Amino acid sequence: MHLAEQILKIVLEHAEKNNFKQIKKIELELGSILEHGEYISPENLIFNFKLLSKNTSAENAELNIEKVSGDDWKLVSMEGGE
């Protein structure tokens, strides 16, 4: 599963548990992660997330990504509402 798909799945699960009808903002930390032989850039991750989130509660979410050291990613926070 691609990183954007993993993130969307987790975000949608969190939204459901918290009864969010709409996800407004997502904050992520992104390390150096290889996918298809290339490092994932924040810009590419945002692009792919936007494509995958169409017709979901995350469709219009603002996605903020902070580059960090290491080789992992972390969901820092998420805001949603009715």
In CATH, the number for domain 3-81 is 3.30.2320.50
Q: How many CB atoms lie within 10 A of CB 24?
A: 14
Burial 42-59 (b: 16+ CB within 10 A, else e): eeebbebbeebbeeebbe
* Spatial separation of the C-alpha atoms in residues 26 and 49, rounded to whole Å: 11
pLDDT of 7-53, one tens digit each?
Answer: 999 999 999 999 999 999 999 999 999 998 999 999 999 999 999 99
Are 45 and 4 a contacting pair, CB within 8 Å? yes
Could you identify the residue written with the tokens 């603002």?
A: 62
**pLDDT of 3:** 95
- Helical (H) or strand (E) element with 66: strand 62-67
The answer to whether residue 1 scores a pLDDT higher than 70 is: no
